[in-house]
Structure 1
Amino acid sequence: MLFSLTNPEVAIFMMGIFLFAVLLGFPIAFTLMAMGIGFGYYAYYDPALMDHIFDNRIFSLFVKNTYTVMDNNVLTAVPLFLFMGYLVERAGIVSKLFFAIRLAAHRLPASMAVAALITCTLFSTATGIIGAVVTLMGLLAWPAMVKAGYDKKFASGVICAGGCLGILIPPSIMLIVYSVIAQLSPLRLFAAAIFPGLLLAGLYIAYAVGRAWLQPSIAPKPRAEDIPPRAEILKEVLVSFVPLFGLIMLVLGTILAGIATPAEAAAAGAFGAILLSWFYKTLKWQSFKESVFLTAKTTAMIMWLFIGSWTFSSVFSYLGGHEIFEHFFTSIEISTWQFLIITQVIIFLLGWPLEWTEILIIFVPIFLPLLEVFDVNPYFFAMLIALNLQTSFLTPPMAMSAYYLKGVQKKNVELMEIFAGIMPFLGIVIFAMFLMYMFPGIALWLPETLFAN
């Protein structure tokens, strides 16, 4: 059948089989490798150059891709940031932080929701692992909010939305991966993501406060007798907030100031997480071993995804798959804003069956060559993608953040209640994308200012 098709048709057929296999539940990394090697064998098949069955260029391509991933200096930061996040998660730092911010914000409407969102923002900065953030905050903040009388839907939306900020706010593993795929500076991507990340977190907090002010029954205020003296609140904030915030600023500051590469800053952050665990007297051998194991496991998954997707993308491009998309977009005579809307809608829809890693590594490279055609700043486009990927975790019926929360709360909340709670936050993400499109300086001002020379 394949030999009766043109190469571009084979490329589309290859993509269709991959999506079908993913929907059936096959492991994505190994499906990519199987598709890449299988169709690559056809693409590079040349009987005149073959002495035996394994004499095909696809095998050397696969080996070279594996070596390239192992030899990539930027990707060295991935396991170090993962280790930093897992250690912070297991050190009990987040529970102290949530308690301190909750006390400091007690005068605000929905003070516990505000505390949860700020904690999610800081914890997301330290880890960037959405499943870890939503799970931990689902065990820590969600029961506390419900016990205080908060509406379950409202509390669920806060936890799910706040937990997704990790792939946007730097130092983000997603941005490191994007920098490798798009051949962009990770420093500029980190700088570009700071204001969009803070904007989205700020919009979440504004919504929580405004909703509680208009509808006080969904987020009752804490009782006066539950609030300790101001001196005790200040002490809790200093002990819990300042060290973790200082660690984050150390990592981000050294990167943005050009003092350290992302890998070097990640190493400093990992060492700082060990010191924080020692400072809080929570550094235990068991939690240290778990952090190392989970770091190795997650890193291996990401790296195999890279190897598989690069092999897949190389074959897809060699067969002419990318040319089909480029010809389509250039032939329909659309403007820049229409191109951006079409691409973002495609990314939004892909977020239902796929995770951000597959979307970035497989599909974003299809659009990257078109940015020059439509005169789109690559860093601006990266921030649109980063914001849009938030929706892949918040859009029912495949909203993974909802399933993470449901997994830890089981019978305490229904899945439909979680879906109902996250819908307003999904609208906020789309609104943030609109704001950034109208005011590109939200993403571009800081990198242009910091790296003007």
Structure 2
Amino acid sequence: MTDPQIALTMLGLFIVFVFLGFPIAFTLMAMGVGFGYYAYFEPARMWRAYNRLQDTASSYDSVSLWIEGFFNNRIFDLFINQTYSVMSNEVLTAVPLFLFMGYIVERANIVDRLFTTLNIASKNIPGSMGVAALVTCALFATATGIVGAVVTLMGLLALPAMLKARYDKSFAAGIICAGGTLGILIPPSIMLIVYAAASGVSIVKLYAGALVPGFILVGLYLVYVVARSLLQPSSAPRPTKDEVPDVPYGRLIFMVVTSFLPLAVLILAVLGSILFGLATPTEAAAIGALGGLILAVAYHALTFQRLREAVYLTVRTTAMVCWLFVGSYVFSSVFSYLGGEQIISEFVRGLNLTPLQFLLMAQLIIFLLGWPLEWSEIIIIFVPIFLPLLPLFNIDPLFFGVLVAVNLQTSFLTPPMAMSAYYLKGIAPPDVKLTEIFRGVMPFLGMVFLCMALLYLFPQTVFYLPNSFYGR
């Protein structure tokens, strides 16, 4: 077999092992080191160790020389260097800080206050409870970026309230599932930080580029909720006074100030300091983590147990992401060294695709990968395969990254592997069936595809803010 064929075999075996359920990060590292040992093997080094072995009579020295001969391969140097490069990557420093901010905000008991306030404030809007749930999801998802946590908390809080208000089960479930996934798109998104580290694109420009598409998607969701409530009132009946009581105007303002405003100010402070160049993403993430602690203290929700849980979850998730990067860097380096990247490039060139056809093909592959894999695995492992091909089609990696972020909304919403649906089913009342949740997310899935189509037709929605703030 030629080296490029071995590289493709390496990629094929990795996909097989993933579907068999092997841990992805350690599979990447093991296959990278294993195939890398072959790729970087130099017989001369082994012969030198063997010749030295013939000259020693000590069994201890013999063992030492055998070990030296085995490890005298550049793949081990590569592994160490790639591990150090991940440790010293300044972009990734923001990941644990944003995660800590999210886990602390999740435990600050702010979601129930926020949903109650928005529910009362929007009671005259068609589908008011759905609108309140969606806006709460969007704000909370933006602050935390943790899909499972948002869907679970909102499922415990908003779903029973909507079902009690006679909302259609699938409609209510779809609102929570769709709203809970917005955190991986709307800045400050951890997913965009990971993409920036993998692609070399400025995280500041990525945040600016994803802002308008994120608002477009939220707007499409809200339009659908209000329109369906108007056209099909039985799916979202207007609330009675018992369900949503009248509150004096002054009291409502106080509720907004104490629930909506603190979280909104925290998000705007973090995002604004990044976009306006007042702080680096890492510095802004540190501000956000401190702000999350202050919020938890202000709401009397900061206990040692909750702080301990937030730190533990932060460390666990950060370790997972960083080891994925180490494994991906080693794997991709060996894959490229063996000529795998070149053979894929030549294959794609031979298809004679237009830029639009290439984008559609790439997004279709990412859409399909979203069924069995998490977004982190797709961004760190598979997206870098497409990145070297972007210059061939004159596609800006900034635009490609935002498209991927919108596309990955579908990985949480597409049956049969819609993780948002499974998160919600785990805490939903027994009479809410999984098929009803699947049916409820399908219209929102259509809104995601519509958003992607709008980005294809009007790419300036992505480029307008980055070009306005930072130039071309």
Q: In the alignment, what sits opposite 1:99?
A: 116
Larger Rg: 2
Question: Match of 2:295, SS?
Answer: helix
Correspondence for 1:29: 25
Correspondence for 1:157: 174
Q: 1:176 aligns with which of 180, 187, 193?
A: 193
Choose which of 278, 299, 302 in structure 2 pairs with 1:283. 302
Secondary structure at 1:260 match in 2: coil
**Deviation, structure 1 residue 71:** 0.8
Q: Distance in 1 between matches of 2:43 and 2:154?
A: 58
Q: Deviation string for 1:276-333 (max 9, x for gaps)?
A: 1111122222111111111111111111111111111111111112112211221121
Give the CA deviation at 1:223.
0.6
| CA apart distance, 1:258 | 0.6
Report how far residue 88 of structure 1 moved.
0.4
Match of 1:48 in 2: 44
Give the counterpart of 1:311 among 313, 317, 330.
330
User: How far does residue 410 in structure 1 lie from its aligned partner after superposition?
Assistant: 6.4
**Correspondence for 1:131:** 148
Judge which range, 55-64 or 80-89, deviates more: 55-64
**AA in 1 matched with 2:245:** I
Q: Paired residue for 2:233?
A: 216
Deviation at 1:69, TM superposition (A): 0.9
Partner of 1:322: 341
Structure 2 unaligned residues grouped into runs of 5+: 50-68
Q: Tell me whether 226-235 or 359-368 shows the greater mean CA deviation.
A: 226-235
**Match of residue 338 from structure 1:** 357
Q: Deviations over 1:170-206 (max 9, x none)?
A: 0111110111111011000000010011110111111
Q: Distance in 1 between matches of 2:449 and 2:339?
A: 33
**2:316 aligned partner:** 297
- 1:404 counterpart = 2:423: yes
Which letter does structure 1 place at the counterpart of 2:13?
I
Q: Secondary structure at the match of 2:181?
A: helix
The 5 Å alignment of 1:191-206 reads: 191-206=208-223
Aligned to 1:228: 246
> Which one of 273, 276, 296 corresponds to residue 254 of structure 1?
273
* Matched position secondary structure for 1:369: helix
Q: Distance in 2 between matches of 1:139 and 1:315?
A: 46
Deviations 1:31-82 (A, max 9, x none): 1111111111122122222331122111111111111111111111000000
* TM-score with structure 2 setting the length: 0.93
The answer for the alignment partner of 2:433 in structure 1 is 414
Alpha-carbon distance in 1 for matches of 2:89, 2:166 = 50
Looking at structure 2, the residues matched to 95 and 58 of structure 1 have their Cα atoms a distance apart, in angstroms, of: 52
Q: Distance in 1 between matches of 2:17 and 2:430?
A: 32
The CA RMSD measured in Å over matched residues stands at: 1.2
In 1, Cα distance between the equivalents of 2:152 and 2:21? 23
Q: Which one of 3, 8, 24 corresponds to residue 12 of structure 1?
A: 8
* Structure 1 segments (4+ residues) deviating >3 Å: none
Distance 2:429 2:19 in 1: 25
Q: In the aligned structure 1, how far is the partner of 2:193 from the partner of 2:7?
A: 28
For 2:163, the equivalent position in structure 1 comes to 146
Alpha-carbon distance, 1:409 to partner: 2.1
3-state SS of paired residue (1:333) = coil
Counterpart residue type for residue 319 of structure 1: L
Query: Residue 469 of structure 2 corresponds to which residue in structure 1?
Result: 450
Residues 80 and 310 of structure 1: is their aligned pair in 2 closer, same or farther, counting only changes over 3 Å?
same
Alignment size in residue pairs? 449
Residue of 451, 454, 466 corresponding to 1:435: 454
Matched to 2:466, the amino acid is P
Q: Partner of 2:409: helix, strand, or coil? A: helix
What pairs up with 1:60-99 in 2 under 5 angstroms? 60-99=77-116
Residues 408-417 or 22-31, more deviating: 408-417
Q: SS at the partner of 1:233? A: helix
> Aligned runs of 1:181-192 on 2, under 5 Å?
181-192=198-209
Q: TM-score, normalised by structure 1?
A: 0.97
Determine if the alignment matches structure 1 residue 356 to structure 2 residue 352.
no
Q: Partner letter of residue 138 of structure 1?
A: G
Instruction: Specify the code of the residue in structure 2 equivalent to 1:27.
Output: P
Question: Which consecutive residues of structure 1, in runs of 5 or more, have no partner in the other structure?
Answer: none
